[in-house]
Amino acid sequence: MSASNGTKKNMNLKLLVWRQSGGKDKGKMTTYQANDISPDMSFLEMLDVVNENIIRDGGEPIAFEHDCREGICGSCGVMINGVAHGPDEGTAACQLHMRSFNDGDEIVIEPWRARAFPVIRDLVVDRSALDRIIAAGGYISVNTGNAPDGNAIPIPKEMSNDAMDSAACIGCGACIAQCKNASAALFTSAKIAHLALLPQGDPERGERVIRMVAQMDAEKFGSCSNEGECEAVCPKEIQMTNISLMNREYERAILANKK
Amino acid sequence: MLAKLRFNNVVGKKIVMAITGLAMCIFLVGHLVGNLLLIWGKDKFNAYGSFLISLPIVPIIELGLLAILLFHVWDALVLLKGNYEARPIPYHSKTWGRTKSKKSKKTWASTFMMTSGIIILLFIVFHVWHFKYHNPVASRPVGDGHNSSIVLFPGQPTVGQTTSGQNSGKEAFDLAQLVVNELSNPIVAGIYILCMITLALHLYHAVSSAFTSLGANHPRYQKGLMWFGNIFTFVVCGGFTLIPLLIVLKVVQ
Ligand code: HEM
Ligand code: FES
């Protein structure tokens, strides 16, 4: 990967980027040259440099989404050489560094592709389908008021570990982008798991999984083939066994369904 | 009650696929044990065959298996259609996430589940026609199976002989001989062996996948389930492969 002695020289790269001016536009792959790129730049900084040049030449910069640039917000996310978030394990595109590439490389950059993720512009897709899945049940109902005592509800350590691991999902959509079926199983299951595992989420467990699965279905995501490609590209390393937990929750809910 | 069970979405359909798939896996174990009797002895195999036919429940089980298979295939096709529609615009270039992390379980087997499934489906149709309905493709008929004590081919008296039941209306059929005759042909044996390799590809992904779909997977069990799937696949498909292999190699005659 990185040149350990830190002497890797600046590089020249060829980019093949998806350009699409809007939802109606058909879009096409366009070639750009990215010259004199420092290996210490992040992937998004490299795109910034390319955009500076495009602007200087009077063109429209490449639109891409980003916010925190430290791998915690889930805004960024593009297919880099056919893999969601690029080649580094457990890394969001903003945390990917150019030292993972070599001088003269050609880099293909595409937006997430799914029917539920229509392209807004260039590399930016509309991920509100994920918000609607959350809105369908990814919450707990509590009365507002004073903050409850942090230790009022005892939670076994293993449970809280598992719940926190699932809660690490930043909703970037890489799992869906990588899945051959464009299935949202990993995302939805992580959101179900982190609530179902905790006592606060327990009362609404059954309804939650039924509603969220129904919404996932309604958004026309595909089905899970249990390949685990999602887990491989997840910047937060959410485990595929969450999906099994979702299936288990679903079975429990439909068997106990009294309505 | 059943109307309240919601199997009509992507999660529910995979649960149905897993239940039906595992049910077929259980059938395969029974079928394998019965078939291996052929290696032990042709009379043992025929005795087992006529015992099975004498059971009144067998037609019901057969219909049940047919229904299970149809549910499995139907859900596979419906899900495939949904998956296809879930990504109308393909990627310009796409590689396996497995190139990035070994955590992915994607294999050629998991990629071609539908292909292997359809080959298995065609094989099942052929296999039932071939041996359940006694349609030899590479050798001469072994009697007609019904009411026949006539030796059709006097040149080969043992071949046409039926073995029991004078007035039963149905003669016990020398199925073992038919199987041996047919699988002695290298092409027929080759077809059976290739189909068993295809089944192995299907099950290599399917067995552990089914447990995940059923909700039985957990970080603690993951490795164990993968192993179970691999061993099951190896034993079952290896066992089935043994039969045409030993016959075509003339170990079983
Ligand atoms: C002896 C016959 C068969 C057995 C034992 C079998 C077994 C299984 C099992 C256990 C699964 C895993 C289910 C899951 O992941 O939840 C599976 C998946 C699958 N089966 Fe079969 N199957 C058989 C025949 C077929 C046939 C005839 C077809 C197709 C026409 C088929 C198509 C599929 C597909 C496409 C999947 C993957 C579904 C997915 O990953 O989304 N199978 N099979
Ligand atoms: S920009 Fe926030 S995760 Fe990449």
CA distance B90 to A206: 36
pLDDT of B146:
42
Assess whether the C-beta atom of A75 lies below 6 angstroms from ligand 2. yes
Query: Taking phi first (over 0 means left), then psi (-120 to 50 degrees means alpha), and beta for anything else, what does residue B108 get?
Result: alpha
Give me the helices (H) in chain B, please. 10-40, 42-54, 58-85, 108-111, 113-127, 157-160, 175-183, 186-214, 222-248
CA distance A80 to A109: 5
Residues A106, A111, A112, A116, Cα dihedral to 10°:
-160
pLDDT of B171:
52
Task: For chain A, list the domains and their CATH numbers.
Answer: 11-120 (3.10.20.30), 127-258 (1.10.1060.10)
The token duo for A162 is: 């598992």
Asked whether residue B94 is domain-assigned, the answer is: no
- Nearest ligand to the CA atom of A71: 2
State the angle between helix axes of B10-40 and B58-85 in degrees (0 to 180), rounded to the nearest 10: 140
Please judge whether A250 and B105 are an interchain contact, meaning their C-beta atoms are less than 8 angstroms apart.
no
pLDDT tens digits for B126-160? 999 999 888 888 887 775 544 333 333 333 334 44
Asked whether residue B205 is domain-assigned, the answer is: yes
Q: Which of B101, B105, B220 to mutate to test the interface with A (most CBs of A within 10 A)?
A: B101
Q: Of B83, B211, B216, which has the smallest distance from its Cβ to A181's Cβ? A: B83
- ipTM (interface predicted TM): 0.90
Task: Tell me the CA–centroid distance for residue B2 and ligand 1, in Å.
Answer: 24
Q: Cα A41–A43–A47 angle (5° rounding)?
A: 100
Beta strand A106-110 with A79-80 is antiparallel
Asked whether residue B141 is domain-assigned, the answer is: yes
A 193-222 near B (Cβ less than 8 A): 210, 213-214, 216-217, 220-222
Asked whether residue B97 is domain-assigned, the answer is: no
Nearest CA in chain A to B209: A226
pLDDT of B219:
86
pLDDT of A20:
97
Quote the minimal CA–CA distance from B206 to chain A in Å.
9
CA distance B112 to A11: 39
Provide the number of structural domains found in chain B.
1
pLDDT of A189:
98
CA distance B228 to A182: 28
Mean pLDDT, all residues of chain B: 87
pLDDT of B139:
80
CA distance B183 to B137: 10
pTM recorded for the entire structure: 0.89
Assess whether the C-beta atom of A92 lies below 6 angstroms from ligand 2. yes
Asked whether residue B103 is domain-assigned, the answer is: no
pLDDT tens digits for A31-71? 999 999 999 999 999 999 999 999 999 999 999 999 999 99
Asked whether residue B136 is domain-assigned, the answer is: yes
- Domain hosting B236: range is 10-82+112-248
DSSP B132: I
pLDDT tens digits for B39-68? 999 999 999 998 998 899 999 999 999 999
AA identity, residue A200: Q
Q: Give A69's contacts (C-beta < 8 A, 6+ positions apart).
A: A42, A44, A76, A94, A95
**Upper half-sphere CA count for residue B159 (Cβ side, 13 Å):** 16
A 50-79 near B (Cβ less than 8 A): 79
Place of tokens 């926190």: A164
pLDDT of A17:
97
What is the per-residue burial (b if ≥16 Cβ within 10 Å, else e) of B186-202? eebbebbbebbebbbbb
Which of B17, B105, B233, B240 to mutate for ligand 1's pocket (most ligand atoms within 8 Å of CB)? B17
Identify the three-state secondary structure at position B112: coil
Atom of ligand 1 nearest to the CA of B25: 5
Contacts of B86 in chain A (CB under 8 A): 114-116, 181-183, 220-222
pLDDT of A6:
58
Nearest CA in chain B to A78: B91
pLDDT tens digits for B160-206? 444 443 334 445 578 899 999 999 999 999 999 999 999 999 999 99
Q: Cα A182–A185–A188 angle (5° rounding)?
A: 120
Q: Of A16, A83, A181, which has the smallest distance from its Cβ to B95's Cβ? A: A83
pLDDT of B5:
63
Q: DSSP states of A186-245 as a string?
A: HHHHHHHHHHHTSGGGGGGHHHHHHHHHHHHHHTT-B---S--HHHHH-TT---THHHHH
AA identity, residue B69: L
**Nearest residue to B214 (alpha-carbon basis) of B64, B1, B13, B74:** B13
Helix (H) or strand (E) holding A13: strand A11-19
Asked whether residue B153 is domain-assigned, the answer is: yes
Low-confidence ranges of chain A (pLDDT < 50): 1-3
B66-71 long-range contacts, CB within 8 A, separation 24+: B68/B20, B68/B23, B68/B24, B69/B20, B69/B24, B69/B121, B69/B124, B71/B16, B71/B20
The token duo for B9 is: 């979405």
**Nearest residue to B233 (alpha-carbon basis) of B68, B25, B72:** B25
Q: Cα B86–B88–B90 angle (5° rounding)?
A: 110
Mean pLDDT of B218-227: 91
Asked whether residue B160 is domain-assigned, the answer is: yes
CATH number, domain of B226, equals 1.20.1300
Q: Of B9, B87, B92, which has the smallest distance from its Cβ to A182's Cβ? A: B87
